[in-house]
Amino acid sequence: MEATSDVDVVVIGGGPVGENAADRAARTGLSVALVEAELVGGECSYWACLPSKTLLRPGAALAAAAAVPGLADQVEGMSVDTGAVLAWRDRTTHGWDDSGQVEWLDSVGITLVRGHGRLAGERLVEVEPPDDPSREQSGPRTLRARHAVVLATGSVPVLPDVPGLAAADPWSSREATGADAVPESLVIVGGGVVGTEMATAYADLGARVTLLARGGLLSGAEPFAGQAVEAELRRLGVDVRLGVAARSVERRAADGPVTVHHGAAAGDAGADASVTAAQLLVATGRVPRTADLGVESVGLDPGRPLTVDDTMAVVGLRDRSATPWLYACGDVAGRSHTTHQGKYQARVAGDVIAARFGDPAREGAPTHGDAPPDPARDPRPWSRYTASADGAAAPQVAFTRPQVAWVGLTEKAARKQGLSVRSVRQSLGDLAGATVTAPEYHGTAQLVIDTHRRVVVGATFVGPEAGELLHAATIAVVGQVPLDRLWHAVPAYPTLSEVWLRFLEAYGW
Ligand SMILES: Cc1cc2nc3c(=O)[nH]c(=O)nc-3n(C[C@H](O)[C@H](O)[C@H](O)COP(=O)(O)OP(=O)(O)OC[C@H]3O[C@@H](n4cnc5c(N)ncnc54)[C@H](O)[C@@H]3O)c2cc1C
Ligand SMILES: NC(=O)c1ccc[n+]([C@@H]2O[C@H](COP(=O)([O-])OP(=O)(O)OC[C@H]3O[C@@H](n4cnc5c(N)ncnc54)[C@H](O)[C@@H]3O)[C@@H](O)[C@H]2O)c1
């Protein structure tokens, strides 16, 4: 095995984002090496999106059946078969085996280098062989990139500085999505997307769940969304405690129960209540994985978020070269923590690299037909080389019950940006589409409208399968479609999309 290898592009991190950046660049004939320390497919495939959604699906399917006359009586009293669900989760994650993903890399001509990658200066990456002896080093120790290096190393969970917490060896989302048994009881710290999704899944799987949140639930979304999820979690039997902070944690034996003492989140007063459970999950957010990545070798601060421009080029390097060579996308870039938005950034970074260094005329190249970005000038917003949607139009779905789907700005965020906005809120349950879905369908949707430009800048849908309603809103926000034109986008009868007509009627069109 050669010690040093020259390639056109090196991608560090083989999650969904690194894979996409590598693929886009490789399609223009560039040679690409992908460095991966664990499993190709990343957090999303093995410990995040896919296993979590598998754990959530059976409870959602049961609830959907229970809401439909003719089925409700049949499923009453039924519970989820935990063993079957965990076995399905194991199939979804391919038993934590990445050989399928590795085959794909081979098929598209991307070279996999297993090991921990670190920058060692400009366009230079050193790879430390993996600890796991079953996963042997499959490539060179040093990679010299002729053109570009892409950082796609994802993020790591945050462990708050609470006395006794680290010593209690709590679960992170990895253990929660990868568990091989359901604990009798679970206390969750954190009321964000992981906290609410896992509270739903574990309640469905039969655990007694307590959820501790500093504020309300899903604070990144409109407040009414978190309130709907809170109500449903309580209905499921989850003990939801809002406005509280963990003050200390005790666990006497490694496999023994764990007690979380908590008090009011506002102020520093001590603990006034506690909860004891068989297991503890900490879900208090994630930070970009920039520690132990060698970023100090190019003048950046390890452990701190990276700053990228809209072409996903990292800014603030010690030595500025005429053409940017270092890019970052996905969780590590810190702009968004979702797979779809990270992959969007990867398409941008991959296409920028391909346009700057690859052969755009090559068959299968994605980049012909648009002017390549000029590194000396600001990139043109909304071109294929610019991740313009990140700030203005990023969608997200929390697969809670009810689902919460949102895109763009909340009303509060829009006002904070100085926009003059008006929100219109509609009940989904009143629509004909709801009546034929389930007689007791409950749901709410809201548009945030920029009253000067008369365009939609944000949208939220809360209800069963609300995620499927989101994309029309994403198109309206990205396209900045004027309300006058939206009026001509006629929703089919009887679908839930008729809420768009109700929005326009309520706004006063
Ligand atoms: C429980 C949970 C559920 C989620 N559900 C969803 C969902 O339903 N939908 C959604 O859109 N998003 C979801 N997310 C977010 C989603 O998982 C992330 O946004 C996504 O994984 C980011 O992709 P990435 O490629 O940037 O990082 P990752 O998926 O984390 O991949 C990074 C890869 O880089 C590797 N790596 C790191 N450092 C190095 C190094 N120095 N050298 C070599 N390799 C390295 C890692 O081993 C990993 O394979 C969820 C997150 C969690 C925690
Ligand atoms: N369906 C999806 O798209 C999906 C699912 C799961 C996770 N994710 C992504 O993964 C990332 C991580 O999820 P997450 O839920 O851990 O983060 P989050 O940012 O969504 O929520 C973290 C929560 O923890 C709270 N918190 C922070 N510090 C705390 C402390 N010291 N004590 C108590 N509470 C504290 C915050 O107030 C917040 O409510 C998110 O950015 C999310 O977008 C996405």
ipTM: 0.98
178 and 251 housed in the same domain: yes
Q: Is 109 marked within a binding site?
A: no
Q: Is the CB of 44 under 6 A from ligand 1?
A: yes
Closest ligand (CA of 12): 1
116 and 187 housed in the same domain: no
Q: For ligand 2, pick from 49, 156, 337 the residue to mutate: most ligand atoms within 8 Å of CB.
A: 337
Domain membership of residue 261 (yes or no) is yes
Domain membership of residue 371 (yes or no) is no
CA of 334 to the centre of ligand 1 (A): 12
Q: Given this model, what pLDDT does residue 134 score? A: 61
Kindly tell me if the per-residue pLDDT of 136 is higher than 60: no
Domain membership of residue 435 (yes or no) is yes
180 and 240 housed in the same domain: yes
Kindly tell me if the per-residue pLDDT of 370 is higher than 70: no
288: CB partners within 8 A, 6+ apart: 153, 154, 155, 305, 306, 331, 332, 333, 334
Quote the number of domains for the chain: 3
Q: Given this model, what pLDDT does residue 376 score? A: 66
146 and 295 housed in the same domain: yes
Question: What is the pTM assigned to this prediction?
Answer: 0.96
Q: Closest ligand 1 atom to the C-alpha of 40?
A: 49
224 and 342 housed in the same domain: no
Final residue in a domain of this structure, among 362, 378, 393:
362
16 and 146 housed in the same domain: yes
Q: What is the mean pLDDT of the chain?
A: 94
146 and 163 housed in the same domain: no
Final residue in a domain of this structure, among 285, 313, 330:
285
304 and 409 housed in the same domain: no
Q: Is 323 marked within a binding site?
A: no
Domain membership of residue 65 (yes or no) is no
Please, what sign has the CA dihedral across residues 62, 65, 67, 70?
Answer: negative
Helix axes of 339-357 and 16-26: crossing angle, nearest 10 degrees: 20
Q: Is 80 marked within a binding site?
A: no
From the list 143, 388, 182, 162, the residue with the least C-alpha distance to 279 is: 182
Q: Cβ(260)–Cβ(231) under 8 Å?
A: no
The whole-angstrom separation of Cα 265 and Cα 283 is 16
208 and 320 housed in the same domain: no
126 and 275 housed in the same domain: no
Domain membership of residue 373 (yes or no) is no
Q: Is 430 marked within a binding site?
A: no
Final residue in a domain of this structure, among 226, 261, 285:
285
Q: Tens digit of pLDDT for each residue in 292-348?
A: 999 999 999 999 989 999 999 999 999 878 789 999 999 999 999 999 999 999 999
Q: Closest ligand 1 atom to the C-alpha of 340?
A: 11
CA of 29 to the centre of ligand 2 (A): 39
| 362 — pLDDT class (breaks 50, 70, 90) | confident
Q: What is the CA radius of gyration of the chain?
A: 24
Domain membership of residue 465 (yes or no) is yes
Domain membership of residue 56 (yes or no) is no
Q: Identify residue 86 by its one-letter amino acid code.
A: L
Instruction: List 447's β-bridge partners, or say none.
Output: 424, 459
Kindly state the tokens that stand for 319. Answer: 């030595």
Q: Is 117 marked within a binding site?
A: yes
Kindly tell me if the per-residue pLDDT of 137 is higher than 60: no
Q: Given this model, what pLDDT does residue 408 score? A: 98
CATH number assigned to the domain comprising residue 203: 3.50.50.60
Domain membership of residue 372 (yes or no) is no
Q: Is the CB of 114 under 6 A from ligand 1?
A: no
Range of the structural domain that residue 478 is part of: 402-507
Helix, strand, coil tally for the chain in percent (to 5): 35, 25, 45
| 290 — pLDDT class (breaks 50, 70, 90) | very high
Q: Tens digit of pLDDT for each residue in 182-216?
A: 999 999 999 999 999 999 999 999 999 999 999 99
CATH number assigned to the domain comprising residue 453: 3.30.390.30
Q: Is the CB of 53 under 6 A from ligand 1?
A: yes
483 and 334 housed in the same domain: no
204 and 216 housed in the same domain: yes
